[in-house]
Chain A
Amino acid sequence: MIPAEFEYHAPTSVQQAIDLLKQYDGEAKILAGGHSLLPLLKLRFLQPAALIDIARIPNLDYIRAADGKLIVGALATYNALERSEAVQRLGVLHDVVQQVGDV
């Protein structure tokens, strides 16, 4: 299955990504891992004008537990969540991410 055509951008800062989002005025989608987005593109349920790949923006893969909250960066993988001690302390979430991140 082949997605419809789209433009591709790989910004290296959050500000660049925000500028691109504004430029496309709602017609662009953010691409992180892609394992939800790409299947939708392949089935053509989504046909965005552009993908903005945020994988080259540094420091977005954090997983932090603070003040009773778990804060997960946009580039944290399910695999990293599964291995995170903070997530392992949250039994249900740990069970769930093990089922999602299968490689």
Chain B
Amino acid sequence: MPNTHQVTLAVNGESVTREVEPRQLLVYFLRDQLGLTGTHVGCDTSQCGACTIHLNGKAVKSCTILAVQVEGQQVTTIEAIAKGDQLDPVQEGFRVKHGLQCGYCTPGMIMSGTALLAENPHPSEADVRHAIDGNLCRCTGYHGIVEAIKWAAEHPEGAPRAEVAS
């Protein structure tokens, strides 16, 4: 008998059912089985946070959780953060405040930032820095990232297009 388990979970609001090996890590399940490659693999050792997703609304590192562990739970990835063409305020903040350089860490940073604001809509700068404690940016663009998340907290409805473009 093959050593696989059937898992059913909600990914970005849609129910998915797949056969997985117990050793299948969630990040590879999302990337390789579902084609959701916005979630990145950085260090693969739960230190860098490039693989951060939301599990039941909380920021979690998907390289250190098995797909079988999330049976029946709700996963949100970077692909579902924008609503159509409408960027999330955190995403707009990254654009307005130049919160990214190479962009590799950006999906994880945005998942940590959005999870923070969902729980604490008015964070202090210390709160923001603490929330991205587990996300590494090797371009060392932390200042812009912190400013981006603070901008999002100040603009919960996002920004008019003109302001974004300026």
Residues of A at the B interface (CB closer than 8 Å) are 1-8, 10, 31, 34-35, 38-39, 41-42, 51, 53, 55, 79, 98, 102-103
Residue of A7, A34, A39, A103 with most chain B CB atoms under a 10 A cut-off: A103
Is A39 touching B46 in the complex (CB atoms < 8 A)?
yes
For chain B, the count of residues having a C-beta within 8 Å of the partner chain is 27
> Is residue B11 contacting chain A, with contact meaning CB distance below 8 A?
no
> With a CB–CB cut-off of 8 A, which chain A residues contact B22?
5-8, 51
> Is residue B147 contacting chain A, with contact meaning CB distance below 8 A?
no
Give how many A-B residue pairs fall within 8 Å (CB-CB). Answer: 61
> With a CB–CB cut-off of 8 A, which chain B residues contact A39?
45-46, 64
Is A34 touching B112 in the complex (CB atoms < 8 A)?
no
> Is residue B98 contacting chain A, with contact meaning CB distance below 8 A?
no
> With a CB–CB cut-off of 8 A, which chain A residues contact B61?
35, 103
Contact with A along B15-54 (1 / 0, CB 8 A): 0000001110100000000000000000011100100100
Is A34 touching B65 in the complex (CB atoms < 8 A)?
yes
Is A4 touching B49 in the complex (CB atoms < 8 A)?
no
